[in-house]
């Protein structure tokens, strides 16, 4: 199990974590020192913005609003404790600086969470202060000249090296490690825990002690005595002695859904309430521990594999729930194999976590949806880092060969095209980011330029004021989509049929506008990059409709026993 984001939980200002998965790709080297430093800068600027805005909203002191923010945090994972300790360490410096009318950028530079590297521009979120930066910063430095926290940070630069923090850092580390279920990754990938890659990500295990029991397998002896495939259907009908699984599911062509995706597929989401001082309350951070242990993803609400009711009031269901409705025998057969930062180039690092036994399991619909990271990166010059059509062709055919040797016969693989992300800048650049709404002082254009300056923008190519760059990024995305289309048209495999589907971007926006919505409402407000829950469910709807129209065989038949199954087994054990 990879832990970089979780290890960062011990790093200063837990909110930095918000950005560890958002802004940057999954590859193992992403948390190199320089990278996490840059995230510290974003974390500092955002947290201090929230603190000053809380003071403003409640007409209170900076000290009181720091206490207030800590008070809002849940006790789990030492979040509240860490917050109070951080206030203890940095509080007096922060108070002094903010009381001297230093802006948040200056404070974060003075406390050295933000650093200007030699030869690099100075990165700031807010407009530059009226007085010259240098002069202001000298004043600020003078204010915290005798600070103990600063002395430690300068010497060790790791907050856990502060003597009174070492213990708590250790405790947090242990608490996070022990909350991870220990398991043999090869033989048992299903879990009875929701987070840490548990059943939020793939169908809940119904017998954690028996490795032959898991969602998606073909029933063992028609599940006469136990529910070997966890679909909630088992036992024998006392009226005629026929096992229910045989009666209701035989010949129904059951199948599962597997997503090979990126952060969009896993539904990366940072609730705007976490940054909106005017709405912040005790309930705002209720979901933070869950989010932390799910890498800030919400696959349980995603368009492909979501199984929980939409939080956005959408009637549309995920692809998984539609497959389940079509055939109740498919209950719990979903896998969300997605990673933040995943692309065609790094998929091989985690494709092994896909679980399908070619001999024992039902066929699957695999959706390959790497929709951004092949063209998105945070480099100052993003173009050379983008995947080329040749590289894509070769890595995708490798992936398909791997799938051909793992998927049961009769499966389907759908290659999903890339969107045109010029949409992001066009619809967001002059709107206010959640952190800028109170004082109308931070637009998305400012946020993007701050992230680009720090070289941690999730997608410099599209989230940039440079129109030529945005156009070039879209051109590459189009070339990559064409490559996927070409692969689907030319390559043949033994165990699955291969299809290509365009990213139904235009249709999605049009459908939303038809309902009276605005295009910007389809984008995650905090990161200004990911499709939000509404967008994901609209895309799922369009995916389903297109399948029904063009390739209904992919979805399988409607099971005539669905209502009988519901009668006998109710919610089939829930999710």
Adjacent-strand bridge partners of 367 = 259, 414
Adjacent-strand bridge partners of 260 = 337, 368
Distances from the Cα of 47 to the Cα of 15, 44, 218, 255, 286, angstroms: 7, 5, 50, 46, 18
Q: How far is the CB of 236 from Ca ion (least distance, A)?
A: 12
Q: Of the two residues 65 and 231, which places its CB atom closer to Ca ion in the complex?
A: 231
Q: How far is the CB of 183 from Ca ion (least distance, A)?
A: 22
Number of other residues whose CB lies within 10 A of the CB of residue 404: 18
User: Where in 508-537 is the site for Ca ion (CB under 5 A)?
Assistant: none
Decide: is 136 part of the binding site for Ca ion (CB under 5 A): no
Question: Is residue 401 within a helix (H) or strand (E), and if so which, with residue range?
Answer: helix 389-404
Give the C-alpha separation, 97 to 429, whole Å: 31
Decide: is 231 part of the binding site for Ca ion (CB under 5 A): yes
Q: How far is the CB of 47 from Ca ion (least distance, A)?
A: 48
Q: How far is the CB of 246 from Ca ion (least distance, A)?
A: 10
Q: Are 481 and 504 in contact (CB under 8 A)?
A: no
Stretch that binds Ca ion, among 231-239, 293-301, 367-375, 420-428 (CB under 5 A): 231-239
Q: Of the two residues 27 and 235, which places its CB atom closer to Ca ion in the complex?
A: 235
Decide: is 205 part of the binding site for Ca ion (CB under 5 A): no
Decide: is 227 part of the binding site for Ca ion (CB under 5 A): yes
Decide: is 229 part of the binding site for Ca ion (CB under 5 A): yes
Q: How far is the CB of 515 from Ca ion (least distance, A)?
A: 39
573 CB contacts (<8 Å, ≥6 apart)? 206, 227, 230, 232, 331, 332
Catalytic annotation present for 263 = yes
Q: Token pair 């070997």 is at which residue?
A: 228
Q: Are 229 and 214 in contact (CB under 8 A)?
A: yes
Stretch that binds Ca ion, among 85-93, 215-223, 303-311, 466-474 (CB under 5 A): 215-223
Decide: is 361 part of the binding site for Ca ion (CB under 5 A): no
Total residues at interface with Ca ion (CB under 5 A) = 7
Give the x/- contact pattern for Ca ion in 232-271, rule: CB under 5 A. -xx----------x--------------------------
The two three-digit tokens of residue 63, written as one number: 């000290």
Q: Of the two residues 233 and 259, which places its CB atom closer to Ca ion in the complex?
A: 233
Q: Of the two residues 199 and 234, which places its CB atom closer to Ca ion in the complex?
A: 234
Q: Of the two residues 471 and 563, which places its CB atom closer to Ca ion in the complex?
A: 563
In the list 93, 105, 205, 223, the residue contacting Ca ion (rule: CB under 5 A) is: 223
Q: Which residue is nearest to Ca ion (CB)?
A: 223
Q: How far is the CB of 198 from Ca ion (least distance, A)?
A: 20
Q: Of the two residues 254 and 382, which places its CB atom closer to Ca ion in the complex?
A: 254
The two three-digit tokens of residue 190, written as one number: 């299903």
Decide: is 572 part of the binding site for Ca ion (CB under 5 A): no
Angle at 144 between CA 139 and CA 145, to 5 degrees: 90
Give the C-alpha separation, 562 to 535, whole Å: 29
Q: Of the two residues 62 and 233, which places its CB atom closer to Ca ion in the complex?
A: 233
Q: Of the two residues 227 and 527, which places its CB atom closer to Ca ion in the complex?
A: 227
Q: Of the two residues 45 and 233, which places its CB atom closer to Ca ion in the complex?
A: 233
Among candidate residues 228, 263, 355, 395, the one labeled active-site is: 263
172 CB contacts (<8 Å, ≥6 apart)? 9, 10, 77, 78, 82
368: left (phi over 0), alpha (psi -120 to 50) or beta: beta
Stretch that binds Ca ion, among 131-139, 218-226, 273-281, 353-361 (CB under 5 A): 218-226
Q: How far is the CB of 232 from Ca ion (least distance, A)?
A: 7
Q: Of the two residues 227 and 361, which places its CB atom closer to Ca ion in the complex?
A: 227
Q: Are 456 and 41 in contact (CB under 8 A)?
A: no
Stretch that binds Ca ion, among 5-13, 221-229, 359-367, 513-521 (CB under 5 A): 221-229
Taking alpha carbons only, the member of 447, 368, 375 closest to residue 402 is: 368
Stretch that binds Ca ion, among 169-177, 224-232, 342-350, 469-477 (CB under 5 A): 224-232
R_g of the chain, CA atoms, integer Å: 25
Give the C-alpha separation, 459 to 418, whole Å: 14
Distances from the Cα of 364 to the Cα of 28, 325, 408, angstroms: 29, 16, 7
The two three-digit tokens of residue 106, written as one number: 């200056």
Q: How far is the CB of 228 from Ca ion (least distance, A)?
A: 6
Q: Are 230 and 573 in contact (CB under 8 A)?
A: yes
214 CB contacts (<8 Å, ≥6 apart)? 188, 189, 190, 203, 205, 229, 230, 355
Q: How far is the CB of 343 from Ca ion (least distance, A)?
A: 36
Adjacent-strand bridge partners of 416 = 501
Stretch that binds Ca ion, among 26-34, 222-230, 320-328, 528-536 (CB under 5 A): 222-230
Stretch that binds Ca ion, among 42-50, 97-105, 217-225, 277-285 (CB under 5 A): 217-225
Q: How far is the CB of 259 from Ca ion (least distance, A)?
A: 23
Q: Which residues bind Ca ion (CB under 5 A)?
A: 223, 227, 229, 231, 233-234, 245
Q: Which residues are catalytic?
A: 263
């Amino acid at each position: 199990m990879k832990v970089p984001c979780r290890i960062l939980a011990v790093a200063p200002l837990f909110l930095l974590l918000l950005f560890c998965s958002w802004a940057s790709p999954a590859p193992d080297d992403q948390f190199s020192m320089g990278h996490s430093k840059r995230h510290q800068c974003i974390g500092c600027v955002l947290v201090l913005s929230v603190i000053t805005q809380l003071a403003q909203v409640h007409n209170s002191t900076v000290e009181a609003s720091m206490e207030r923010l800590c008070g809002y945090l849940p006790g789990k994972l030492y979040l509240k404790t860490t917050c109070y300790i951080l206030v203890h360490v940095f509080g007096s410096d922060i108070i002094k600086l903010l009381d001297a009318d230093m802006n948040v950028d200056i404070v974060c530079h003075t406390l050295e969470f933000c650093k200007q590297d030699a030869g690099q521009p100075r990165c700031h979120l807010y407009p530059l202060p009226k007085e010259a930066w240098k002069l202001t910063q000298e004043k600020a430095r003078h204010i915290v000249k005798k600070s103990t926290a600063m002395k430690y940070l300068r010497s060790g630069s790791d907050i856990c090296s502060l003597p009174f923090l070492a213990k708590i850092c250790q405790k947090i580390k242990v608490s996070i490690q022990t909350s991870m279920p220990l398991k043999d990754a090869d033989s048992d990938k299903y879990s009875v825990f929701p987070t840490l890659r548990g059943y939020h990500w793939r169908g809940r295990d119904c017998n954690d002690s028996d490795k032959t029991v898991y969602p998606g397998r073909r029933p063992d002896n028609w599940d006469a005595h136990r529910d070997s495939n966890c679909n909630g259907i088992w036992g024998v009908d006392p009226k005629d002695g026929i096992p229910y699984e045989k009666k209701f599911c035989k010949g129904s062509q059951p199948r599962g859904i597997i997503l090979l995706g990126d952060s969009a597929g896993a539904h990366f989401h940072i609730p705007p309430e976490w940054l909106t001082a005017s709405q912040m309350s005790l309930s705002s951070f209720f979901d933070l521990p869950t989010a932390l242990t799910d890498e800030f993803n919400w696959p349980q609400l995603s368009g492909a594999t979501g199984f929980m009711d939409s939080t956005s009031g959408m009637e549309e269901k995920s692809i998984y729930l539609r497959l389940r409705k079509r055939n109740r025998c498919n209950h719990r057969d979903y896998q969300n194999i997605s990673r933040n930062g995943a692309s065609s180039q790094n998929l091989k690092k985690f494709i092994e976590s896909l679980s399908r036994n070619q001999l024992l399991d039902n066929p699957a619909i695999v959706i390959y949806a790497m929709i951004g990271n092949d063209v998105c990166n945070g480099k100052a010059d993003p173009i050379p880092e983008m995947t080329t059509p040749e590289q894509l062709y070769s890595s995708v055919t490798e992936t398909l060969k791997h799938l051909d040797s793992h998927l049961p016969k009769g499966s389907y693989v759908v290659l999903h095209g890339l969107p045109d992300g010029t949409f992001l800048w066009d619809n967001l650049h002059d709107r206010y980011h959640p952190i800028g709404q109170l004082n109308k002082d931070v637009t998305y254009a400012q946020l993007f330029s701050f992230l680009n300056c720090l070289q941690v923008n999730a997608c410099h190519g599209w989230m940039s004021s440079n129109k030529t760059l945005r156009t070039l990024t879209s051109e590459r995305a189009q070339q990559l989509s064409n490559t996927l289309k070409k692969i689907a048209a030319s390559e043949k495999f033994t165990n699955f049929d291969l299809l290509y589907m365009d990213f139904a971007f235009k249709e999605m926006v049009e459908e939303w506008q038809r309902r009276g919505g605005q295009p910007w409402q389809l984008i995650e407000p905090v990161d200004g990059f990911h499709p939000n829950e509404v967008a994901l469910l609209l895309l799922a709807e369009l995916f389903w409709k297109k399948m029904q129209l063009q390739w209904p065989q992919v979805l399988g038949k409607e099971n005539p026993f669905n209502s009988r199954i519901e009668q006998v087994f109710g919610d089939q054990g829930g999710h």
